[in-house]
């Protein structure tokens, strides 16, 4: 079974693409909506919240977990992989989203200029700068923190006029820098893809994070076929949230195109 974890609704944009590409596996999706957004918390608290989610999903029978959250990937993944898993969950693994997306940005950036928008924590961590420039030091990376966007999306205010104005303000420095690739450095931002594309005049390649992560996961599973077994019966789809499950279900139906019934759980 594969677990997919995000601080809220945003990871559904990743889950949808993973499910379409790899429908033969069992999945548990966990959104910690009650404590979103993660991007405004300290690194220590982000790690602790992520560790709790990892423990919960492994205890539910997951063999592999995808951190479909840029903030958790930036602030918790390395410590989990290097310190926590070997001691507590040997033989299991957790993967993040930053490396595969950075690799795709490098591949597409003919002009050697990549922009990143993300939560305050993701931007402050400089994870994308490190990852991109480690692989290609010639690429310039422009960053912009967008701390208001996750609360806006979680509250369903995507189409509000104020949202477009907030986005316009956030993207001003990006437009001035004229990058050829834009990384949406938070899975929530996929809900704003069309608005961002229009505000940038369709002149910037905006990375489809879900497709990228799904393709990289398919490659990973092909190379580690013994880690996660394919379902022998009807594949399971379990959705969990730490907050209002009716609100979560409405968001999931909008993104996945089908009705789902999530369960409320508590992380400790």
> Among the options 46, 62, 129, 186, which is catalytic?
186
C-alpha dihedral, 33 to 39 to 45 to 49, nearest 10° = 30
> Among the options 69, 171, 183, 240, which is catalytic?
69
Q: Taking the domain 2-96+211-264, which CATH number applies? A: 3.40.50.1860
The dihedral sign for the CA sequence 258, 167, 157, 97: positive
Which fold would CATH assign to domain 98-208? Answer: Rossmann fold (3.40.50)
Same fold? 2-96+211-264, 98-208: yes
Q: In what order do the strands lie in the sheet with 27-31?
A: 93-95, 64-67, 2-6, 27-31, 237-241, 263-264
pTM score, whole prediction: 0.92
pLDDT in tens, the chain (268 residues): 999 999 988 899 899 999 999 999 999 999 999 998 898 899 999 999 999 999 999 999 999 999 999 999 999 999 999 999 999 999 999 999 999 999 999 999 999 999 999 999 999 999 999 999 999 999 999 999 999 999 998 888 999 999 999 999 999 999 999 999 999 999 899 899 999 999 999 889 999 889 999 999 999 999 998 999 998 889 999 999 999 999 999 989 988 999 999 999 999 8
Q: 186 catalytic, yes or no? A: yes
Domain ranges of the chain: 2-96+211-264, 98-208
Q: 62 catalytic, yes or no? A: no
Enumerate the H helices of 11-160 as residue ranges.
12-21, 43-59, 70-75, 77-79, 85-88, 98-108, 120-125, 127-135, 149-154
């Amino acid at each position: 079974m594969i677990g997919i974890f995000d601080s809220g609704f945003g990871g559904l944009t990743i889950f949808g693409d993973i499910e379409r590409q790899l429908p033969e596996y069992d999945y548990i999706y966990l959104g910690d909506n009650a404590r979103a957004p993660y991007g405004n918390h300290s690194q220590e608290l982000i790690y602790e919240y992520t560790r709790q989610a990892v423990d919960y999903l492994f205890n539910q029978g997951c063999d592999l977990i995808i951190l479909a959250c840029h903030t958790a990937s930036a602030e918790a993944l390395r410590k989990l992989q290097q310190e926590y898993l070997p001691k507590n969950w040997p033989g299991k693994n957790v993967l993040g989203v930053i490396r595969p997306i950075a690799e795709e940005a490098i591949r597409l950036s003919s002009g050697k200029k990549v922009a990143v928008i993300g939560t305050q924590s993701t931007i402050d961590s400089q994870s994308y700068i490190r990852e991109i420039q480690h692989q290609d030091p010639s690429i310039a990376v422009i960053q912009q923190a967008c701390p208001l966007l996750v609360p806006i999306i979680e509250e369903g205010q995507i189409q509000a006029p104020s949202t477009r104005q907030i986005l316009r303000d956030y993207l001003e420095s990006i437009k001035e820098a004229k990058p050829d690739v834009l990384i949406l450095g938070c899975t929530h931002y996929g809900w704003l893809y069309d608005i961002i594309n229009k505000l940038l005049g369709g002149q910037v390649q905006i990375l489809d994070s879900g497709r990228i992560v799904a393709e990289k996961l398919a490659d990973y599973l092909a190379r580690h076929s013994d880690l996660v077994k394919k379902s022998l019966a009807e594949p399971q789809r379990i959705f969990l949230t730490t907050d209002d499950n009716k609100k979560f279900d409405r968001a999931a139906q909008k993104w996945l195109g089908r009705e789902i019934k999530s369960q409320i759980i508590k992380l400790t």
